[in-house]
Amino acid sequence: MSEKVVVIYSGGMDSYTVLHKALRDGKQVHALSFDYGQRHKKELDYAAKVCNKLNIPHKVVDISAINTLIGGSALTDNIEVPEGHYEEPSMKQTVVPNRNMILLSMAVGYAVSLEANEVYYGAHSGDHAIYPDCRPEFVNKMNDVCRIANYTEVEIVTPYLDVSKTDILTAGLAMELDYGETWTCYNGRELACGKCGACEERLEAFRDNQATDPLDYEA
């Protein structure tokens, strides 16, 4: 029987690629998504559609109540989503305090209950400048904790930690993945805005790969 793993699956490009990589590696994937009050909640609809199509077990957990404790992000509060590249200081407004530590902790608990030994998530080098909880030092320390937090060791697997979104897209295109099945924009409107940091990085990845993004944009 194939090995069970938990994949933290937001519905975005990175986790979509990680999900398929785990499947290609022969893993028995259990997808886990979180509603943490993000304004781009439509990414969860994309995640559900993909899991339904692939017949993958998929849990969506509502943890939006945590916003009474960890506010102050443009992704969850009534703060305008900044435009520009991830390297720009304004993008720090999109940091949700302690988000990945919280999500990983719950995913590890879920893995233990499933008797799975690995949790996958899609941190990559393009996030390092702005998001502390996507950096190698964070992942390494979390891995240390997850090995001793339960009777069963759980490893956090980050296949793309040291590469860019361009490289992730390159890997996904090599797998012939359809990125029209993903949502990236931080604004949860009908069409992607094309101007927030998430959209800019996505579009840059497609340009670098000389490929066309299948999503429609406002601009």
Each residue's pLDDT, cut to its tens digit, for the chain (219 residues) gives: 579 999 999 999 999 999 999 999 999 999 999 988 776 688 999 999 999 999 999 999 998 887 776 654 444 445 454 455 545 554 554 455 677 888 999 999 999 999 999 999 998 875 545 677 778 898 999 999 998 989 999 999 999 999 999 999 999 999 999 999 999 998 878 999 998 888 988 999 999 999 999 999 996
Q: Which amino acid is at 159?
A: P
User: Coil, strand, or helix at residue 198?
Assistant: helix
- Collect all residues with Cβ–Cβ distance below 8 Å to 114 and sequence separation of at least 6: 4, 6, 30
DSSP H helices, the chain, are 13-24, 42-54, 99-114, 136-146, 165-174, 197-208
4-208 adopts what CATH topology? Rossmann fold (3.40.50)
The per-residue b/e assignment along 174-208, b for 16 or more CB within 10 angstroms, e otherwise, is eeebebebbbbbbbbeeebbbbbbbbbbbbbbbee
The Cα–Cα gap between 118 and 171 comes to 21
Is the pTM of the predicted complex or chain greater than 0.75?
yes
Q: Taking the domains of the chain in order of start, what are their residue ranges?
A: 4-208
